[in-house]
Structure 1
Amino acid sequence: MTTTAHAPLLETSRALITSLQEPGGAYPASPTFSAYRGYCWFRDGAFIADGVSSAGEVASPSAFLDWCAGVVEAHRTPIERVVAAAAGGAPVPQEQMLPTRFTMAGTPGADEWWDFQLDGYGTWLWAAAQHAARHGLDVTRWQPAAGLTVDYLLSSWDRPCYDWWEEHAEQVHVSTLGCIVAGLRAAADSGLVTGTRAEAARAGAEAAMAVIHERGVAGGHLTKWLGTDAVDASLAALIGPLGVIESESELAAATIAAIEDQLCTDDGVYRFRADTFYGGGRWPLLSCFLGLAHARAGNTARAGELLDWAAGTATTDGLLPEQVDGQLLAHEYRTEWIDRWGPVATPLLWSHAMVLRLAAELKEDA
């Protein structure tokens, strides 16, 4: 049974995302925030595309996925160099790996960034497969880029890199591994890759899952990175929407419980306990990821509460922020970040997309 509890915000979110999309297909992370303006992330963009796709949009997410494919194909030579070097036992250094964010034109940015992240290359494959299945689309158009992406991930999936938050490049992050698993599985199962490459993708996904289970679990729950017992709210994505961890498993239940216990306050979800970014606030998009995990596990009532909180962070103009102040983990750091980059990113397209995605999961209509 559908509802319209958040219809005005859902309408605003859908219109905002599609109206701000660049003609070439890229989604700006935020149109106004100084550090994000003019850039598109594969990871954020993939979740944005999935959000508007779940809300019924077809052309917009397709255009983003076309943009991703074009960027990947434009980087064929460096991808082939990475793959060859890894096969030869001498992997290229981090600075020669693909960037995590690109300009709207699909080129690497000129300014310095914490750039080597692998998760986005898994999430774009996953989003392409999800979008195609949802709307009955032919994946052939994305096959050449998908093949290159799979090769890249298979060559490098076990390398340390920055996490979702551009931190700790020295670690192998469980959320990153989960995004890679989701992408490799989706590519093989959807026909984005076929034949021996599909077989290799499935084998690579199994190998990464084995590492998650063997080294990325402590106290019965998923961990922030291999070898720690800390949790990170991004881990909820492995349950829903990525579906890498079975939603009815003990591992899923323990992970949800750990995030609830350690990172959730009054339905708002922190990134991780040691967070100091803008004082370490609660993120609407992370409440939505936790809500998706709950929904997949059958607890739609709790998912609805988390959606209500996320929706309630919108400004009077219906704009959703990256994070909110109040009950900060490290209030003393807030001014430092405001002085550096200005006020918190508002709107953040990823926040709007995750509200759309959780609302669709709960069968809410705009």
Structure 2
Amino acid sequence: MTRPRPGVAARAELAARSHAVIAALQHPGGAYPASPTFSAYRGYAWLRDGSFVAEGMSRWGDVASADAFHDWAARLLTDRADRVAAIVADAAVGREVPASAMLPTRFTLDGADGSEPWWDFQTDGYGMWLWAVEAHARRHDVPLERWAPAVAVATDYLVAVGDRPCYDWWEEHVEHVHTSTLAAVRAGLLAAVAGGTLDPERATRAREAALRVESSGLTGGVTRGRAADPTAAHLAKWVGSDAVDASLASCVVPFGLVPVGSPLATATLEAIGRDLDVDGGVHRFAADVFYGGGQWPLLSCLLGWNLLAAGDRQGAERHLDWALATATAEGDLPEQVPDHLLHPEHRDEWLRRWGPVATPLLWSHGMVLILTTALSEDPR
């Protein structure tokens, strides 16, 4: 299905609508609900989703909204400082810490642990929060000391467990070490160091951990490519895999595991485009059966952000326009659309299980703000 591209005026209106949706739905305590009406997400917020949403709001210039989110995230981290200290102590003496003892992936809107079962050991969100809070503070001259105790807690947690197998962005495959997760952890640790609030000993540990994570991602997280072109190395979905996942684009922009324009970055983006991008709409991965494996507006924006950084402004605009064209009549963006399903036979089972696709998904709206502002800042 080819969606009509919005004009310049419509693009600006839809981007402004994204800001309005996020602002209206932000919880009074600062959390960004993942999706206010979707059955499985209602009442919960993720550090992963929220960090990208906060980055979008910060870039848009809504400093108060981003501040409030970071205050919320800082509270939930400092509230769990003793829990992190216990994890760190066990890890230091080689004692196995079970996944069930780790910090949650999602939280209630008031910052409590959830009461329902979830795929709950993921480290990416903690790295993403460190990256997002440092970027926001630097962008708007907000003293990072405001969040320094929480930065220390998140840093300690990632130093201790950031390279362990855990669930990926999509809350799958807890048995693997995921390359996009490593990229987020590394970026977060380096951001914490760059922010200048860590004590010298903690900063040293963070740098050393970032180097370990980087080494893991750039060795085990790289495949030699398809047999037809064995020299075409690209990043892989997890360490030891040769699969492609759209989240791998984040390893280039914004997390910088590999430099923009490098052969590895170029080959990775080309693999995502070849395997997962259809007419500007980007799938998560080839084996995706969630709601039949549709295309995700937030991933179209992520790939577009990378295309812009690599010098392809037209490609970035095309992907933003595709994402904007998925909006409902009210301007709400979904989690995914069924334009091009990879596994259509699975769609009905998810509709029966969880109901209609999450709409609005605040992460989609946050990514629209990120790509819109990146395009407006690009001098080309």
Instruction: State the TM-score bracket (shorter-chain normalisation).
Output: over 0.9
Partner of 2:41: 36
Partner of 1:233: 246
Confirm or deny that 1:349 pairs with 2:349: no
Aligned-pair CA distance for 1:156: 0.7
Aligned-pair CA distance for 1:172: 0.4
Partner of 2:276: 263
Q: Name the CA shift for 1:91/1:192 in 2 (closer, same or farther; >3 Å).
A: farther
Q: Name the CA shift for 1:20/1:255 in 2 (closer, same or farther; >3 Å).
A: same
Partner of 2:204: 199
Aligned-pair CA distance for 1:193: 2.0
Partner of 1:144: 149
Paired amino acid for 1:86: A
* TM-score in terms of structure 1 length: 0.97
Aligned 1:202-217 pairs, distance under 5 A: 202-217=207-222
Match for 1:221 among 234, 241, 244?
234
Instruction: Give CA-to-partner distance per residue, 1:239-272, whole Å, 9 cap, x none.
Output: 1122332102111100000000001111100000
Whole-Å separation in 1 of the counterparts to 2:270 and 2:53: 26
Paired amino acid for 1:22: H
Whole-Å separation in 1 of the counterparts to 2:321 and 2:250: 19
Match for 1:97 among 102, 111, 118?
102
Instruction: Give CA-to-partner distance per residue, 1:330-353, whole Å, 9 cap, x none.
Output: 101111001111100000000001
Partner of 2:117: 112
Whole-Å separation in 1 of the counterparts to 2:115 and 2:342: 33
Partner of 1:167: 172
Whole-Å separation in 2 of the counterparts to 1:222 and 1:179: 14
Partner of 1:83: 88
Q: Report % sequence identity.
A: 55
Whole-Å separation in 1 of the counterparts to 2:371 and 2:10: 13
Match for 1:62 among 64, 67, 74?
67
* TM-score in terms of structure 2 length: 0.94
Gaps of 5+ in 1: none
| Secondary structure of the structure 2 residue equivalent to 1:362 | helix
Partner of 2:327: 314
Aligned 1:243-282 pairs, distance under 5 A: 243-282=256-295
Pairs aligned (count): 363
Instruction: Give CA-to-partner distance per residue, 1:278-337, whole Å, 9 cap, x none.
Output: 000000000011011111111111111111111111111111000000220110111100
| Secondary structure of the structure 1 residue equivalent to 2:376 | coil
Instruction: Give CA-to-partner distance per residue, 1:180-220, whole Å, 9 cap, x none.
Output: 01100111012242412112212211111111111100121
Partner of 1:24: 29
Q: Is the CA contact (8 Å cut-off) linking 1:129 and 1:192 kept in structure 2?
A: no
Aligned-pair CA distance for 1:4: 5.2
